[in-house]
Amino acid sequence: MRHAILVLLDDQEASGYDLAREFANSIGLVWNATHQQIYLELGKLNDQQMVKYRHIPQDGKPDKKLYRITDKGRDELIRWLRKPAAAARIRDAFMVKIAGGGLADSHALLRELDELTEMRRERLATFEELAHKLDNEGRDKQLFSYLTLRRGILDQQAWLDWASEVRDALTSREDISASV
């Protein structure tokens, strides 16, 4: 997560709230983080002098902290970018449920599949809207954001294709069970 934060801060100064919003809208395509995780990591990065912040007074609210990457943080980010990335691990509880589907109620799996499918369709629509916005602004200006976004779009599309296969298989299984 530290490197995701450094990537975001390399573009511009940001508050913890701004970073959480960016995790939800951009880098969240590839890395999820809660507000609490972000603030905890910002504290560590600050202690290690990889970021620093300035206070912005606000009327009627606590002061805002705007973080920016330091030279030490940028050096760490460059060092990390030069290293090969570890293979991604998949942690998907629904896939475990499908793997154990022989013991499961197909109707319950179908209901959960429908919920997840709706969430994935919404995410796909959001990603496609962001890609369209980047296209209109000139994709080359934010090429790496666009490439990351394309990966998110393809991932959602692949999951939806897989979900269609799962639906067909579970529906067929139910049809067979009903006829016995």
At 74, list the tokens: 């940028």
Give residue limits of the domains in the chain.
2-82, 93-179
Closest residue by Cα to residue 76 from 6, 174, 163: 6
Looking at residue 158, its pLDDT comes to 96
Contact 8, 22 (CB under 8 A): yes
User: DSSP string covering 106-122, please?
Assistant: HHHHHHHHHHHHHHHHH
What is the mean predicted confidence (pLDDT) over 65-70? 96
Residue whose structure tokens are 């269609």: 164
Q: pLDDT tens-digit profile of 10-46?
A: 988 999 888 888 877 666 666 777 889 999 999 999 9
CATH 3.40.50.300 fits 2-82, yes or no: no
Residue whose structure tokens are 């990065």: 45
Q: Which residues of 126-136 are buried (b: 16+ CB within 10 A; e: fewer)?
A: bbeebbeebee
Write the DSSP symbol of residue 14: B
Q: pLDDT tens-digit profile of 95-109?
A: 999 999 888 888 999
CA dihedral for 90, 95, 97, 99, sign (positive or negative): negative
Q: pLDDT tens-digit profile of 106-125?
A: 899 999 999 999 999 998 99
At 53, list the tokens: 């912040």
Write the DSSP symbol of residue 104: S
Write the DSSP symbol of residue 15: -
